[in-house]
Amino acid sequence: MIKRIITTLIGLPILFAIILLGNTYLLVALFIVSLLCLKEFYAATQKTELKLIMRIGCLFSFLFYVSLYYTLDISNALPLLILTTISMLSIQVVSNSSYSIIDIGIVLFSIIYIPLTISHLFLIERLLLPHSIWLVFIIAWCCDTFAYFTGLAIGKHKLCPSISPKKTIEGALGGIIGSMAGCFLFSYFVMPDYIYIYTIMGLVGAFFSQLGDLSASIIKRFFSIKDFGNMFPGHGGVLDRFDSILFTAPFVFYYLQVMNQVIG
């Protein structure tokens, strides 16, 4: 617990600084986070027979984030994904390498799972209200914190014992309440006119946050690892810290886009 608190106290000021600077600083930070997460993901496959083309995933991330900076259009990912698929298949044909279709599929999965989802943080900051980016972290981290302490205090009924034995139904409900409370307070002080919209976002966002966490647990169980890394003492690796944000960021972005259109 002490390690978790110390890591949080060190990490939060860095996060605040990056978000306040925004724009290019945020995009570069997200690109670095994407590379670190990809590195941890590919490292997790070393215990398997998979032979992933790591450089392809990193090159895609670079090209995608550059295009995002100039166009703010995530649909640019589609031609890049097609080009990446053709490139990997071409490498297999030309070099007669030992890479399999499964290897190629997992590389494509890692690209969608990590850089494409994380990039929505940049889109929220540039296309929507700049302060809205905080909602992603409020939902993910309030949900995680409240779920942890609620489960620790009164958790009795297992949520998904085959995926994550320590998670409980009581903890999951506590996470939902924490996420809603965090969004309610944020809206109360920042945008009181939209307090109901933000509170509902906290309710639904908590499901996406916990789904992201459980999905990461499935991946770790498949690769037979406990954590993706150890960069953050008490928290694991970078991907362990961002697993719930991977699903929360796209949800917040599209939710706010829909709400903007509905409200006008």
Binned at pLDDT 50, 70 and 90, residue 264 comes out as low
Residue 179 has pLDDT above 80, yes or no: yes
Cross-strand bridge partners of residue 192: none
Residue 156 has pLDDT above 60, yes or no: yes
pLDDT for res 10: 66
pLDDT in tens, 180-206: 999 999 999 988 888 999 999 999 999
pLDDT in tens, 202-253: 999 999 999 999 999 999 998 888 888 777 666 678 999 899 999 999 999 9
pTM of the model: 0.90
Alpha-helical segments (H) within the chain: 2-21, 23-44, 54-71, 77-95, 101-111, 117-118, 120-127, 133-154, 169-190, 195-223, 238-263
| Alpha-carbon gap, residue 234 to 237, rounded angstroms | 9
Distances (CA, A) of 260 to 129, 130, 168, 178, 197: 11, 14, 35, 25, 11
Q: Provide the mean pLDDT of the chain.
A: 87
pLDDT for res 48: 67
What amino acid occupies position 196? Y
| Alpha-carbon gap, residue 122 to 130, rounded angstroms | 9
pLDDT in tens, 114-137: 999 999 999 998 877 778 899 999
> Which residues have a Cβ under 8 Å from the Cβ of 177 and sit 6 or more positions away?
146, 150
Range of the domain at 64: 2-263
Q: Cα angle at 23 between 18 and 27, to 5 degrees?
A: 75
> Which residues have a Cβ under 8 Å from the Cβ of 28 and sit 6 or more positions away?
none
Q: Cα angle at 257 between 260 and 204, to 5 degrees?
A: 105
Task: Provide the domain count of the chain.
Answer: 1
pLDDT for res 243: 92
| Alpha-carbon gap, residue 12 to 111, rounded angstroms | 27
Q: Are 138 and 146 in contact (CB under 8 A)?
A: no
Residue 97 has pLDDT above 80, yes or no: no
The sign of the dihedral angle between the CA atoms of 135, 137, 143, 145 is negative
